[in-house]
Each structure stands twice: as C-alpha cells, then as structure tokens.
Amino acid sequence: MSQVTYTEENIRSLDWKEHIRLRPGMYIGKLGDGSNADDGIYVLLKEVLDNCIDEYVMGYGKHIDITIKDGKVSIRDYGRGIPLGKVVDVVSKINTGGKYDSKAFKKSVGLNGVGSKAVNALSTQFRVEAFRDGKSKSAEFSQGELLKESRISKSSGKNGTLVEFEPDSSVFKNYKFEDEYIEERLWDYAYLNSGLKINFNNKVFYSKQGLLDLLKNKTNPENIRYEIIHLSGHDIEIALTHGNAYGEEYYSFVNGQNTTQGGTHLQAFREGIIKTVREHFNKSFDSRDIQSSIIGAISVRVEEPVFESQTKTKLGSVKIAPDGDTVRSFVVDFVKEQFDNFLHKNKEIAQTILKKIQQSERERKEIAGIKKLANQRAKKANIHNKKLRDCKVHYNDKRGNEDQKNATTVFITEGDSASGSITKARDVQTQAVFSLRGKPLNSFGQTKKIVYENEELNLLQHALNIEDGLDGLRFNNVVIATDADVDGMHIRLLLLTFFLQFFPDLVRQGHLYILETPLFRVRDKQQTFYCYSQKEKKEAIDSLRGKPEITRFKGLGEISPDEFEAFIGDDIRLDPVRLLSSTSIKDLLTYYMGKNTMDRQKFIINNLKIELDELDPDEVIELDD
C-alpha cells in the first residue's frame, strides 16, 4: 500500500470567498437550476430580501422594488442604507454586519453575517450601492473579488440599499428563475409584514391582515368548516380553521422566515391547540381527532433565533429571548388563553369544531376493526421480504448520518422486471424498492376505509409507515417509477390520486417525486448517450460519427441493472410533485379523476397537438396503427 504524505504543505487556508465557492451547500443548501422552489438561486434572492425585510421590521422603508430579467436580479429597499464606510466590508468580510448588535436588529432573520457574502461569492456580477443622508457609495465584485469601489459622493437617491447580482452559471448550471416560486415567497413576506408593499416586475404584493390573508388565499371557502380564527399578540400571530381533506396543513414562520420544516414553535402551536380543545370541552379527545383536517399558520418573533441549518427552515431555539420564557411555554400559553377566549365568545364555531372532532373520532373507530385485520394481513404477507426490498438506513432513525437519512429513497414500481432491475442497481444503504402488482385502485372520492380494505394500498402505506401521519415516515424521498407509456402514466396518476386523497402532507412537505428515465440510448463503438427527450436524442446523434445504434426504451424492464446505476445514482433526475398554495386538492382531483367533463375533454384535445417533425417515422407508424 502506497504511503500518503501529510506535512505542512497539505495544510491549506481558504479565504471567505474560496470557502463559499468550494462548499456552497454549507451556506445555501442544494444548488439546482431553479426548477425547484428550494434551489440555490432562490436562496440567494432570499438572503438579500431578508436584509430588506429586517429594515422594514425596524421601522424603516415601506416598500421594496425587485426586478429580475434575463437571470439578473435587482433589489432596492428604502431603509436606512448600509453605513457608507462599511459598504465593502458588509458584503465581503465574514462575521461583519449590524445584526451582531441586538439593539439595531433585535429580532432579525440573518444573524450570522454570511448571507450577502454568499450571494457575492456565488455571483459572476455583484454590485451594491448604499444611499444615506444625501450621499452614496458603491462597489462591484465578481465571484467575491472586488473589481471597483467608488468614493463617497453626493446623491439625490432616497435612503436605502441597492443590490444587483447575476448568479454564477458555473455553479448554478442552466439556471432559470421561475416566477411562480418567487411570487409564492413574496406573498409570504407580504403576509408576515402587514403594510409592506413589494413591487416585483411591476406586480404588487401587499397584505393588510397578515396570516388571515394567508389562509384566505391558500384555502377555498367551500372547503373549510368555519370562518378562519385569527389571533395576534406581542411577537406572535396565529390563524386556524378545519377543512374537509385528510391530513394537517401548517404554515410556520420565525422572524418572517418560512420555516418549512417547522421546529419548536410549530410543535408548541399544535400542543396548544390540543390542550385548549381538551380543556374547553372537558374531554380527553385523541390528539389525532383534534388535528385531523386542521389548517393553521403561526408566526413568532424570537430574539437571536437558532436554526438547525444555514437555510433556516427549522427553528431550534429553546427560548423566546436569552432571558425570557421558552418558545414552548410562550406559544402554548398564548394559544390556550386566546383560543379558549375565542371559543367562549363564538359558541357556534366551538360547536362546529366539536362536531368535526366527533366525526373524525367516529371514522377512526369505524375502521379500527378493519385496520386490525389489515395489519394482520400485511404481517402475513411478509411485506418487508416480498413487496418491499428495504434499505438499511431510514428517514425516521433516531441515530445515523443526517445526509444518509435525507437521501433515503423508496422507488414505487410495477412489475417484476422493472423492480428487479432497480433492486439490483440500487444503493442498499439508502434505496428501497416497493413492487406493485398491477394497477392500483382508483381511490378518488373514497374514504380512508378503502385504504385498509384494498391490499395493495394497505401494504403501500405500511411500507411507508404513514398511517398515523408523517412522523414515522421511513423514506425522505418517495419516488413513483413507472414506464413511459399509457399504462405507466395511468399507474402514476392513480398513485398521485391516492397520496393527494389520503396523505396530502406527503406532497405538501416535498417528499413525493416522479423518476425520470431515459427514452433513448444512442451509441456507437466509442460513446453511449442516454437521452430523455427528442431534442437530446438529436444532439447525441449529431455528436457521433457514422450511423449510431438507437434504442427506444418503452419500459423500465428493458433497462439493464448496469444502466440503472447511472439513472438512480448521483445523476438521478427527479421531478418533484408540488402543490401551489392556490391549488385546491378537491378541485384538482375532481378535474382529473371525476366524471368526463367538457373542460377535461377540451384540455386533452388542446394538449394532443403533436409536432410531427419531432417524432421518428417509426413512432408515427405506431400511432397510425
């Protein structure tokens, strides 16, 4: 075995920008290309906007102007403006910023002095200009390197800060900003900062009633049981109602940051609701019956918040302030007092809540016997040997490597050949395979009783361990892997219906994906290309010399295990199944899975306009046949 030297020459010190560029994931999470809402380019946008919001929270500047065009971003706030002598330092020196002074930014989102530096280091062009008391100063950078710095000069610009940047395409490959993701984030900023006006590409985002507006815009009035309850106090605001769908739906925020993974404040909110309901009605209801179908939102302000990652998606703070109450007691006490007062004053709503809880209780008890038999059947079926080829690490493990747990994936596929290929190619540490037998039942409009009576659906929920909610979810990524043909698309649609109907939280929390597999293999004696579209196929053919061999994959079973290793490894292509905040699950399922309405007929006809020049002659013949 060769010896590896380890001397002083092996020790290397990176400056701030080198470290950010070498390990960008430490600062902004995953990179991506903008096709997912949590991709890095949106984190860059958020880091700059958080600074603007902090100015508004401190009482400075009532509007923000944002322009995004051709991948270039411009953000102008009208706060106090960066102190002119520190313009360069604030965006280029780690651990430099006004937020270390809790008097200036008492309840800020960004407290670590890293955000704007990460944006600077990961941009090919970065420009900052501060306007303060009739004077201004600017600086320009590229990949964190200072290119030009102006002197302090007179200016007629209003107080505030302008930041312009263009994400580095060598880091964010083929990136593109999607307006729908940006607009959803901007609405959150508007809801959480009543009175703030945000102008994005000439579209205005504004809210008067905070979380009440949020829930109104995220729910259909026809799909809720009673008017939204809206309560607010010092450093806390909540809104809640009960809907008609399965699962729970929560939106949680800390200091204006959308904590998509929740944290101590959301746990306390749920606990407060349960305790209030039990004490108000003097009945020890099962927590599942109280929480079933609840739709809620909570926003808190915390001094010096501690998050569990740089992207601030989960609150880890124990206390509301260094010398104050715990977050748990602060939230629970507020909910118990204010929610209970509301129920006493609004007896009609209180009775509606009681009836909803009793309905959930009856349904749960009704299926208890069926559930018991289903569990016995699942055990007898020896699910973990026959239906499920399990992996060794699971998402809900108490111990283990966090990266591995986040990578845990189950592929839901149909047929022995497809599941066999994936099983042989998978990483046994983190990847599992669940094999369906034939097409699953269409569960549209059914009750949860159907889940336990139908063997395939019952075994599937057991494999995922989600019958009592997502707390026990065994896999972070639930991936539907079906053939790219009519039958495969039908199975995909039936599985989507099942999850949306009974386990919508799985979709809302970003766990459900569609596996993309190549349609073609193009190769000669020297090179092989796997192509996911007609365009990629044409590009592959053009890059090869001579006449290549072209294979059209019509089923997953036609792809060998050796080939599958590439498709479910580091280069895996997953399409996330997302629900926009404005999407009604009931309306969505009715449209696609309900009776054959004229609207759906028109949709199908309009989307069957196939451009023949993109099809191979062989495929045109198949369609004609």
Residue 151 has pLDDT above 80, yes or no: yes
163 — pLDDT class (breaks 50, 70, 90): very high
| Rounded-to-integer distance, Cα 390 and Cα 402, Å | 18
The dihedral of CA 290, 315, 41, 199: what is its sign?
positive
Higher pLDDT, 311 or 528: 528
pLDDT, tens digit, 9 for 90 and up, residues 123-137: 999 999 999 999 999
Residue 338 has pLDDT above 90, yes or no: yes
Residue 179 has pLDDT above 70, yes or no: yes
Residues 127 and 28 in one domain: yes
Residues 410 and 471 in one domain: yes
Please check whether residue 538 lies inside any domain of the structure: no
309 — pLDDT class (breaks 50, 70, 90): low
Please count the CA atoms within 13 angstroms of the CA of 257 that sit on its side-chain side: 31
Helices then strands, each counted (H, E), the chain:
23, 23
The answer to whether the beta carbons of residues 577 and 512 sit under 8 Å apart is yes
| Rounded-to-integer distance, Cα 576 and Cα 389, Å | 23
* Closest among 196, 211, 334 to 273, alpha carbons compared: 334
Residues 358 and 458 in one domain: no
Please check whether residue 533 lies inside any domain of the structure: no
Given this model, what pLDDT does residue 242 score?
95
| Residue 537 CB partners (closer than 8 Å, separation 6+) | 519, 520, 522, 531, 550
Given this model, what pLDDT does residue 611 score?
40
331 — pLDDT class (breaks 50, 70, 90): very high
In the chain, % of residues over pLDDT 70: 86
Please check whether residue 522 lies inside any domain of the structure: no
Q: Which residue segment(s) compose the domain that 302 sits in? A: 211-366
pLDDT, tens digit, 9 for 90 and up, residues 408-449: 999 999 877 788 889 898 999 999 999 988 888 888 888 888
Residue 250 has pLDDT above 60, yes or no: yes
Using the structure block, give the residue that is written with the tokens 């399990």: 390
Residues 32 and 99 in one domain: yes
Please check whether residue 9 lies inside any domain of the structure: no
The dihedral of CA 377, 503, 505, 353: what is its sign?
negative
In the chain, % of residues over pLDDT 90: 41
CA dihedral 26, 28, 33, 36 (to 10 degrees): 110
Given this model, what pLDDT does residue 94 score?
72
| Rounded-to-integer distance, Cα 119 and Cα 142, Å | 11
Residue 311 has pLDDT above 60, yes or no: no
| Rounded-to-integer distance, Cα 269 and Cα 227, Å | 19
pLDDT, tens digit, 9 for 90 and up, residues 61-120: 999 999 999 999 999 999 999 999 989 988 987 755 555 454 444 555 554 456 889 999
607 — pLDDT class (breaks 50, 70, 90): low
Residue 613 has pLDDT above 50, yes or no: no
Given this model, what pLDDT does residue 612 score?
38
| Rounded-to-integer distance, Cα 569 and Cα 409, Å | 11
Give the residue from 300, 335, 366 where a domain finishes.
366
Q: Looking at the 3D structure of the chain, how many domains does it have? A: 3
CA Rg value for the chain: 27
The domain that holds 276 is classified in CATH as 3.30.230.10
Query: HEC string of 528-590?
Result: EEEECCHHHHHHHHHHCCCCCEEEECCCHHHCCHHHHHHHCCCCCEEEECCCCCCCCHHHHHH
56: three-class secondary structure by DSSP: helix
The answer to whether the beta carbons of residues 167 and 71 sit under 8 Å apart is yes
Residues 176 and 190 in one domain: yes
Tokens of 10: 């092996």
Give the helix/strand (H/E) hosting 161: strand 160-167
